[in-house]
Amino acid sequence: MRTTPFKRKPLTMAVMGGALLAASNMASAVQVTKSLEMICPFPLIGDQNIIATITADYPETIAAGEQLGPIAIDTITTVPDKARQGLAFVDATTITGTAQSINTFHTIDGNVGNDTLLTIEPTDVPSNLSGPFDVPAFGDAPAVTFTAAQASGEISLTVDDLILNLRNLKADGSVAPAPVGEFTSDCTLVEGQDNVLVVMNAGGGNVDPAEIDVDKTAVDFGTLLIGDSASDTVTVTNLGDLALGINSVSVTGPDAFAFVVTNDCTTLGADETCTIDLTYTASEEGAHTANLVIESTDEDEAVVTIPLSGTTEAIPEPEIDVPVASFDFGQVILGESASVDIAIRNVGTAALSVSDLAISGEGFSLTGSDCGTVPAAGQCTATVQFAPSSTATVSGTLVVSSDDADEPQVAVSLSGSGKDGGCDDSSVLPISLGVTGLTHLAASGGELDLEGQVDTELNLCNGEFVGDLHINQTQGSFEIIQGWNQYQATATVEFENVGQTVGTLQNGTLVATSQAYVKIPKVTKTLFGFIDWPIGGGEDCRTKEPVTFTVMSEEGQFDAITGGVVSGIYDLPELENCGLLTSILSGKMAGPDNLIELEMTPIFE
């Protein structure tokens, strides 16, 4: 026997339904009822079959942009006698709680969720009757407004799931014992049922068909050298209301091999976009053309063709660069000489042939050179000596001839003068200078802090000095990419002097030259956040050749009493004997255009 189902008052229902219909501009509504069998898990008694009967008023038609709902929903859930027995077992007398009906509108342009929260009317558990009994619930389905694309065909509403959140009470109003007192039951539809609650005819409105739009009419990658590549992106947009299907994206034409395409285009809703990534790889000399072909469901323009072009240049060219435009030897004691190494670089993409090094001017001579064929990104050195024959100021020129088509000759201006000797040991003053500063490594962009001391003997007569430079051990961090691994490493750096530091302090300008091997005894990486794990370096890990450091102060800005700032640019040779990381460390440190900047301060004891 069943208890009488709960029903809303007719007057209340009439007023509510009329208000909802008026608010949504719907002329009429039809009552629909659907009974669905569901399987629900219950405590103590396990899975049980229930019957949920849903009643609501829905319009027969709906137009785009019109609000549907809120819609009043009434349900009657018929539960089996075994559920009554389970409730009675824990002295539960009243069923309360909520239920969530999981509903979905199905449109031609996708699905729209319409989950509805229902309030369970407090229902007495039959105490003197056996058999199934009814539990009523009510609530309002939330309002929804359909787009023009969604309202371009039939719209159906399905009931997909039911979740019961039950709170069962004893006669005194307290919650019945667990697990029956409060629990959630996620019910599932019994397979094979028609779960469509209502089907509405959509009025549609002004619906624009799918329309493809591409942001480029052509893509030109320009001119590249062999081995290089360039990328560009094409954006596809759906300007219509209906979904646009992208059927295929491909590259066609005789040179299609030179262009690679990837994309994320499938189906685009109204105003949605997708991107097509293009890459041109310069692998063969000459001009290359192809077509990007986009096929879609656009009825007016089913195929869009975009011309692609790119040119590969296979003839690299050398380019000479001499960083020093002029060099002044200053004053050199008569009977003695001074030398300077002038770097000649090839910043082009092909080997540079240095055909001649010509020097002119009294007292100037070329004493050495390793120039001949200079590879791309390489350099050579010309050693120029000045031996004055008088105290007069003289000038000269070093002319470098090469096969650089744009600059076949480069001239370096030379100057210097002689001076009488006459200085003796009584003119020599020992001076110690504290050294602090840094060096910037051009290859990696990293910096090393420098600290140390230089102990010199300065000849007050001619301004020349000679001494020993001691740079303390330092550290630098840089990123290492090894295979698929990428991590931060710390290198310990030492300087092993070769010979002494020599230079001049004349007229407030200091010039100093030192040579040293740069050594890396240890390279570590952090393991587990705190262990410095050795990964490279070693006792014999150092530059293949000594590094020549030549630093100079600004003119007139260095004083033997207060010191000053000096700086210079140097080349760091490749490293050797560093284990598996030799090539990686060289890549991070070796190369030209490294800056060194030091502050030298006299130490007075």
Q: What is the mean predicted confidence (pLDDT) over 388-392?
A: 93
Position 529 scores a pLDDT of: 56
Please indicate, yes or no, whether residues 293 and 380 belong to a single structural domain of this protein: no
Burial of 218 (0-12, 13-18, 19+ CB in 10 A): exposed
Looking at the predicted structure, is the pLDDT value of residue 531 above 80?
no
Please say whether the beta carbons of 92 and 142 come within 8 A: no
Band of residue 199 on the pLDDT scale cut at 50, 70, 90 = very high
Query: Is the pLDDT confidence value at 528 over 60?
Result: no
Report the CATH number that the domain containing residue 238 is assigned in CATH: 2.60.40.10
d(CA 107, CA 32) in angstroms, rounded, equals: 19
- Residues 139 and 14 occupy one common structural domain: yes
Please tell me the predicted confidence (pLDDT) of residue 462.
79
| Domain assignment present for 160 | yes
Rounded Cα distance between 283 and 286, Å, is 9
185 and 234 both lie in a single domain = no
Cα 563 to Cα 432: distance, rounded to the nearest angstrom? 10
Q: The domain spanning residue 595 has which CATH number?
A: 2.40.160
Same domain, residue pair 375 and 415: yes
pLDDT of residue 151: 80
Parent domain of 251:
212-313
- From 366, 395, 419, the end of a domain falls on 419
Instruction: Decide if 85 is inside a domain.
Output: yes
Domain boundary among 293, 313, 333: 313
Instruction: Calculate mean pLDDT across residues 9-31.
Output: 45
Nearest to 344 by CA among 322, 318, 327, 373: 322
Confirm whether 271 is domain-assigned: yes
Amino acid of residue 49: N
Kindly state whether residues 389 and 276 are assigned to the same domain: no
Residue 479 burial class via C-beta count within 10 angstroms: exposed 0-12, middle 13-18, buried 19 and up = exposed
Q: Which residues contact 335 (CB under 8 A, 6 or more apart)?
A: 421
| Structure tokens given for 153 | 């065909």
Span 143-152, pLDDT tens digits: 998 887 788 7
First to last CA, the chain: 113
Specify if 3 maps to a domain.
Answer: no
Q: Are residues 247 and 345 in the same domain?
A: no
Cα separation of 121 and 6, whole Å? 8
Residue 279 lies in a domain: yes
* Strand ordering across the sheet containing 409-419: 326-333, 409-419, 393-402, 352-360, 373-374
pLDDT of residue 425: 60
What does the block give as tokens for 175?
Answer: 């919650």
Please check whether residues 158 and 35 belong to one and the same domain: yes
Q: What is the dihedral of CA 346, 348, 353, 355, to 10 degrees?
A: -70
- pLDDT single digits (tens) 304-315: 999 999 999 877
Residue that finishes a domain, picked among 278, 294, 313: 313
Q: Kind of pairing, strands 46-58 and 94-107?
A: unpaired
Residues 229 and 363 in one domain: no
In the chain, the amino acid numbered 47 is: D
**299 and 325 housed in the same domain:** no
**Looking at residue 45, which CATH number applies to its domain?**
2.60.40
**Domain count along the chain:** 4
Residue 145 lies in a domain: yes
558 close to 509: Cβ distance less than 8 angstroms: yes
CA separation for the pair 545, 524 (Å, rounded): 24
Pair 194, 115: CB distance under 8 Å: no
Q: Is the pLDDT of residue 218 over 80?
A: yes
Q: Strand, coil or helix: what is 371?
A: coil
Write out pLDDT tens, residues 81-129: 998 888 988 999 999 999 999 999 999 888 999 999 999 999 999 988 8
Q: Which of 341, 340, 345 is nearest to 379 (CA)?
A: 345
Contact (Cβ atoms closer than 8 angstroms) between residue 176 and residue 226:
no
Long-range contact set of residues 175-180: C-beta below 8 Å, sequence gap at least 24: 176/87, 176/90, 176/91, 176/92, 177/90, 179/43, 179/44, 180/43, 180/44, 180/86, 180/87, 180/89, 180/90, 180/92
* pLDDT for 134 beyond 70: yes
Q: Which residues of 38-67 are buried (b: 16+ CB within 10 A; e: fewer)?
A: bebebbeeeebebebbbbbbbbeebbbebe
- Residue 333 belongs to a domain: yes
* Residue-wise pLDDT tens digits, 228-287: 999 999 999 999 878 899 999 999 999 999 999 999 999 998 899 999 999 999 998 899
Measured CA to CA, the distance from residue 282 to residue 258 in angstroms comes to 7
Burial environment of residue 278 by CB neighbours within 10 A (0 to 12, 13 to 18, 19 or more): buried
At residue 293, what is the residue type?
A: V
Query: What three-state secondary structure class fits 579?
Result: helix
Query: Do 479 and 448 fall into the same domain?
Result: yes
The answer as to whether 2 is a domain residue is: no
* 72 and 183 in a common domain: yes
Q: Are residues 144 and 44 in the same domain?
A: yes
Please give the average per-residue pLDDT across 411-439, as a whole number: 85
**Alpha-carbon 144 to chain mean position:** 40
